[in-house]
Chain A
Amino acid sequence: MSTIINRTFPGFFPSNCPTDSKEVDVEPVYRLVESNTIKAKEFIPSGIRKRSYLEGDCEALALSVLGSKDDIPMAYRFFSSMGLSKKDKVAVGIITKDSGRVSFDKSKNVGDSHINWWTYDGIQPHTFFNNVLQIGVDI
């Protein structure tokens, strides 16, 4: 697990991002992924990956995870319908309070346990996950 250096966000985050968030431990958390193994590239927030053409969207700088296993089927069905059917596996991990800030953003599409997780500068989110489950087999 990464060593926490400081509690600041990368310089390209908007100044007021994130708002309404807190440092908190959450365990376990689940994230839809494509690969059978934990790969760093699947844990890069969209807003960071798309920084060359997308700006100003704070939510895009957070990782989407679920706090409840029960919401996984619903989230999978919804994202599959929207063209994300390749994400048919779930990485299981934790969020620690010194890794970043979270907001519990209930989603009508993917479930009440949806969480946005903004990680501090230097944090590598994939290192907080250690297991991958197959939807329809393990869950």
Chain B
Amino acid sequence: MAGIIHTPLGSLNIIDVLVSFDGPRIFTCSNSVTKYLAFLVDELEESDHWLFVPVTNIRIQEIKNGLISIREALLNAEGDIVFQAFLPLVGGYEATIATMKTSEIPPGFLPQENSYILGQKDSTIQYYSDLPQKKTNAVDEARESARDVFDIALDMSDDPYEMESALFGETLINIQYTVFSLDERWSSSKKPPISVVEDNIVNVSTLFQSSFGIRIKSKRSADIFRVTPASKALRGFAELLQDSSDTDRLQIKLKSINPRAVLWYQKLLHTVKRTGSSLKAEWAAPNQDTLSVSLTKQQVDLAYEVTKQTEETVYQVTVKGTLYAVNLKRNTFFIEGEDGNEYSGGLSEDIQHFVQKGHVFHIPMNVEALIEVKVRMNLATSAENLVFTLLDVYSNDSDSK
């Protein structure tokens, strides 16, 4: 380590000095979460003017290998955001920091186009990418397209610009179902209700270089309030990712969301974990709401372990429908719900005692039933198992139980 630089982004460990003149002027540095490229723009009377941009390991390699210049690294910062900091030289002044879009960096702040790190080219490492550069940032794209935009970038350790097709497919399925399950209307049925699907479908609109960047967009457009039907669930997904940077926060979060979402999110983390990636994500809504998050590989692993603690979840739902069968010998029931779903499972001990005392169900019977739902998910097979137990029944044909 070549020192520490104290900034409003935190105290950053200097990892690799790329350009030194009387000390480091261009270098990589990091806190526990994010790696930055630091660039000294100017030395003023009372402060120094710096730019910091988040970088991935791959981007660092590209810079060091002379594949891209420092100028390009700043202008094409992943996330399209650059932090501008003024660090005071004497006491009594506060360090300041502001963000700006990379497209707004004044040319005078930038090094020249030929600002390649010479002499460090390592020809043994060459990455070629078919992926295009991201053309628009998420916020601008969401505003202009009137759709939610969710950018996810996986920084894979082996081949940064390609992904196994099976893992890619799993990633997309798990993202989609995590989003579906964050819609509270998907509660008891095994398949998401049609309304949940229609409102929350997301489309892949492009892949981009970041290392492996995936842009998904809500299928449906915004209403007059600049909100799409998927905005709430996608925001919930972004918040879930944000809370995953801290295990305590994640544990609290998992207790507050649909248990099914926990299981699908666990599957997503499992897939990301298998790619060996760190993960960055940014959500932007047409109304300019936005959230961004960066998770290290270690944070992904930890978050996965936290979700594993909830591999089996239990909750209760109230179902309106028709009770068609109660089998006293096998202690089973069957209800056809008004929501179009079928519920069959076991009887609770209370119900069994109730029947043994002589109560008779006159079926078919319109009922409002309290049902316990136990969701078990097998990560290896991706199979989801729902176990229903009938806890209580209220007849809608009469006022009696």
Residues of A within 8 A of B (CB): 32, 45-47, 49-50, 52-57, 59-64, 78-85, 107-110
Interface 9-mer from B86-94, B128-136, B214-222, B300-308:
B86-94
B340 at the interface (CB under 8 A from A): no
Whole-angstrom CA separation of A2 from B311 in the bound complex = 74
What chain B residues lie within 8 Å of A55 (beta carbons)?
3-4, 6
* B159 CB-CB contact with A under 8 Å: no
Whether A57 contacts B112 in the complex (CB less than 8 A), given A108-B119, A109-B19, comes out as: no
Chain A proximity mask over B70-111: 1 for CB below 8 Å, otherwise 0 = 100000000000000001111100010000000000000011
> 8 Å CB contacts to A: which residues of B18-51?
19-26, 39-43, 48
Do the beta carbons of B23 and A53 come within 8 Å of each other? no
Is there contact, CB below 8 Å, between A52 and B5? no
Whole-angstrom distance between the alpha carbons of A106 and B338 in the complex?
A: 79
Chain A residues near B19 (CB-CB < 8 A): 82, 109
The listed residue (A60, A62, A80, A82) touching B70 by CB distance below 8 A is A82
Q: Cα distance A61–B20 when bound, in Å?
A: 12
**Docked complex Cα distance between A45 and B26 (Å):** 16
Closest residue of A by beta carbon distance from B20: A59
B-side interface size class:
35 or more
Name the CB-closest residue of B to A14: B3
* B118 x A53 contact (CB < 8 A): no
Given contacts A46-B21, A84-B21, A109-B119, 9 further A-B contacts (CB under 8 A): A52-B88, A52-B90, A54-B23, A56-B1, A59-B17, A80-B112, A83-B39, A108-B120, A109-B19
**Footprint of A on B, CB under 8 Å?**
1-7, 14, 17, 19-26, 39-43, 48, 70, 87-91, 95, 110-112, 114-120
Known: A52-B89, A52-B90, A53-B6. A59 touches B70 (CB 8 A): no
State whether A78 and B23 are in contact (beta carbons under 8 Å apart), knowing that A53-B6, A57-B2 are contacts in the complex: no
